[in-house]
Chains A and B, each alone.
Chain A
């Protein structure tokens, strides 16, 4: 794995923070709920970290906590995806509305 040491990591942090801000800055109020749900889904990436933590655990406590971590992370990712998709699928214009 690459080493993300010191300032390289800080630069990533800074640029990602501005990216998040800019991406959301002009969003219309009608999308606030789905967008919050969508960003909630994106931090479901934590499941990946939980997998790595569990994969390297060697103690009983590590197994249990790691297992819970992966379970919760998977719930975050899958649940976040399902509800966001359900909400966004419903947004239609007059032209394409359901009959």
Chain B
């Protein structure tokens, strides 16, 4: 008895320590100075909790357990090390979906075991199982879409009604399960319905909105993990899951707000469905060549660079950093202006710039940098479009009306590096390109920036 008691105590202490390390880790991850150490704290917590679980009383199947950890861990390690920074959003979706699937698996094992769980525990098991399943299949669809495996946004009339019907059917089966232990068939059907719901919910959502959805599924997985933690009397799961559930909900709201969308709007309507007629923009785009831009920037006092996802697609971020260093050496103040939704998810552009070696203390959020455009000599827009479109301020009929934008148009000179003359991601004509103080530098992002570097070097 003494032996068993001390093992239990050791496990509880370890979970307690793990929960502490998770919260401290997340706290440290919320500041750029301490962030890198934060993930290590949380990682240590995970190792402690996982290792101690092998000592859990009355367990068997250790070989299966070890094999599963090994296979899952090695595959994830291998893919995680190899993934390009531009593909980060879909990898997060993939790993998140796996967590949701694991929560659903716990629920399935508990419900299928036929043990008497009692009404409260079986309610939580069912809820966690349903949420985990939706998160699993939904995240997989999000992954497939962002990875380019699945290109179409499938939409049909009455889609929301179909989704509600599936949800209702799954809920009925869930309630039946809670009332009295159901058959294997009804439990299987319940999980199948939840998996289908995740797919049908996510299919109509466009790629641009996907980050918000991934964040939502992240929060949902956290919640599912917390519920399964209640089922298993596991405090570490309850605390970690709940913390992620609420933190993820907040992050989702912040992201949706940054995109000027409500969460309901993202989930229940496709972007572009309501696009009105794109208004005519008068004037002409005026081209400029790289040498003139080089001179303009080299003799400027302050240059603000506005990067968009197009820059990352062209793999131009390393060249942009080289250009920045060249300008800094000439005494030019260079700052990066980041729109909240630059890249494929909020903060993604910061990661891409960081990868190229750009220090984060010259990278500024929209609110910090916007007043500075008034005093900037040059605003260099590269691969960004809608986030610098002034119609968002002025034209109430535009689909992007009301979205906060970067004030690139307020700079003395605005240079836009762009491949061709087409409209932006949302298909909206950009009034910025037609302004008197805007010049267009046509070309591939990487090639154009290389030309700028040459132009400045030859001065």
Contact = CB atoms under 8 A, between A and B. Distances in A.
Interface of A: 1-4, 9, 12-13, 16-21, 23-59, 61-63, 65-98
B42 A17 contact: no
Contacts of B113: 56-59, 62
B294 interface: no
Interface of B: 8, 11-12, 18, 22-23, 25-27, 29-32, 35-36, 38-40, 42-43, 46, 49-50, 53-54, 56-62, 64-65, 67-73, 75-77, 79-81, 83, 85, 88-89, 91-92, 94-96, 98-99, 101-106, 108-110, 112-113, 136, 184, 214-215, 218, 221-222, 224-226, 228-230, 232-248, 250-251, 254-255, 258, 338, 340, 343, 345-348, 350-351, 354-355, 357, 359-363, 365-366
Contacts of A34: 29, 35, 347, 351
Given A16-B242, A42-B42, A44-B99, 4 more contacts: A28-B365, A69-B101, A91-B32, A91-B354
Q: Which 8 A-B pairs have the closest CB atoms?
A: A69-B105, A55-B59, A82-B80, A79-B76, A32-B347, A74-B72, A73-B102, A20-B246
Interface majority SS (helix, strand, loop, mixed), chain B: helix
Given A19-B23, A49-B232, A65 B250 contact: no
Contacts of B12: 1-2
A57 B347 contact: no
B77 A90 contact: no
B269 to A, nearest CB: 23
21 contacts: A31-B30, A36-B218, A47-B69, A48-B234, A53-B109, A57-B61, A59-B112, A62-B109, A65-B105, A67-B67, A68-B101, A73-B102, A75-B95, A79-B79, A81-B42, A84-B29, A88-B35, A89-B36, A90-B355, A92-B360, A98-B357
Contacts of A39: 26, 218, 222, 243-244, 247-248, 251
Contact of A37 (B43, B50, B92, B105): B92
Contacts of A95: 359
**Counting chain B CB atoms within 10 Å of each CB, which of A31, A36, A50 scores highest?**
A36
B248 A76 contact: no
Contacts, number: 398
Given A39-B251, A65-B112, A97 B49 contact: no
A78 to B, nearest CB: 4
A55 B365 contact: no
B235 A45 contact: no
Contacts of A69: 68, 101-102, 104-106, 108-109
A68 B106 CA distance: 10
A46 B248 contact: no
A16 B239 contact: yes
A52 B359 CA distance: 44
B76 A74 contact: yes
A53 B105 contact: yes
A77 B236 CA distance: 14
Contacts of A62: 109, 112-113
A82 B237 CA distance: 21
Contact of A71 (B57, B71, B251, B340): B71
A90 to B, nearest CB: 4
A45 B110 CA distance: 18
Contacts of A57: 61, 109, 113
Given A3-B233, A4-B233, A33-B346, A70 B26 contact: no
A83 B30 contact: no
B91 to A, nearest CB: 6
Contacts of B250: 20-21, 24-25
A61 B230 contact: no
A96 to B, nearest CB: 8
Given A29-B346, A62-B113, A54 B77 contact: no
A57 B59 CA distance: 9
A59 B58 CA distance: 16
Given A2-B233, A4-B238, A79 B102 contact: no
Contacts of B96: 40, 43, 76, 80
B10 to A, nearest CB: 12
B98 A72 contact: yes
B88 A83 contact: yes
Contacts of B101: 68-69, 72
B187 to A, nearest CB: 10
